[in-house]
Structure 1
Amino acid sequence: MSKNFSRINFHSETVERFKKYAIENDVNYTESMEAMLDFFEKNYISPFKPFPLTNNRLLHIFNKRMDALEVLLRKMEKDSLEPTLKILLNLIKIADPINKNVYREKRAYAEDDTHPDFYK
């Protein structure tokens, strides 16, 4: 059982764009046109009016913003928070009175050239 075909006239630029679209999606021209019409009818949108902000579009926009925020926070953590934490921990370690005595002893030992282990 064959289906009837009919013709519609389009501008040649539009025909080339449509052919390219159909080839890229690996479907014939009829399937491409049916998919486009089904999309507009199913989503209750018109290509001639601005799209309303549907829940799906808002969710998509929100997810993209959240991804960008996550990237920003990861970069901030890597570039500024981790080095700052290391510096603060080193300052606390040096300022600790228990470590302060050890630090002075090590320094005094390192400058003492009379000690037999100094030249190792």
Structure 2
Amino acid sequence: MDSFITIRIKRDTAKRFQEFSRTHFKSHTEAMATMLDFFLYNEISPKEKFGPSGRTIAVNLNTVETNLLKRMNAIIAIQRDIEKTQTKPTMAMLESLFQAEEPKNKSLILEKKFREEKKGDSFEEKRNTTKEL
């Protein structure tokens, strides 16, 4: 069995440590060794601050939420602007290039007039034949 050594700790701190140790570990020695290993392995100091805790985040949640909403709205506005000015016009140009329209068979102007004259002649002939009867 290992020997024990005494350390001078203020009474309030010793009571806090004992309560913590009882709730999380089997012995005070195991609690102290685990805490020391934690700081050693993670290469951090117990005096360092890790940033905002859950409590401070909850207090500042309204400010953070407002800032996030503003940023999201700005991003949405930028995306819409890009769609209107760049994406949609470019897409329309590409679609018009790739659309394969069949050329319309246009009849010549002379042919069209000739057809009308031909139709008119045949109609008059029929009318004349009816008058004679």
Q: Give the TM-score range, shorter chain.
A: 0.3 to 0.5
Greater length-normalized contact order (CA 8 Å, ≥ 6 residues apart): 1
TM-score by length of 1: 0.40
User: Please, what TM-score do these two structures have when normalized by structure 2?
Assistant: 0.36
Task: Specify the structure having the higher radius of gyration (Cα).
Answer: 2
